[in-house]
Amino acid sequence: MIKYLRMKPIGTHNYFVYILTNKNKTVIYTGVTNDIQRRLFEHKDKEYANKHRFTWKYNCFYLVHIEHFQWIEDAISREKQIKGWNRKKKIELIESENPDWNFLNNDEF
């Protein structure tokens, strides 16, 4: 039996690696998603969030870095790379694009 893969039309692949922080900018969380607005909502929503999750426990709801990828494999690889870095290197990445650590939650992606 042949299985057909459901393919997205060309140009519609959107995957994001993102970094969140808390209000005081003392905690860093890295994640990957295909819908950044939905994912930001899920991290913050009391009804959705499991209170044992890292982002809920440390109030990491503020987007400070985002990268776009066309292929999920590339996004996952980048997420793993960043997660393997020490805090200093993550801070350097954030500050290379967002030196003031502005919260990007309301920006359009």
Tens-binned pLDDT, residue by residue, of the chain (109 aa): 444 444 555 556 899 999 999 999 999 999 999 999 999 999 888 777 776 688 988 999 999 999 999 999 999 999 999 999 999 999 999 999 999 999 999 887 6
Contacts of 75 (CB under 8 A, 6+ apart): 15, 16, 17, 32, 67, 69
Say what the pLDDT of residue 85 is.
98
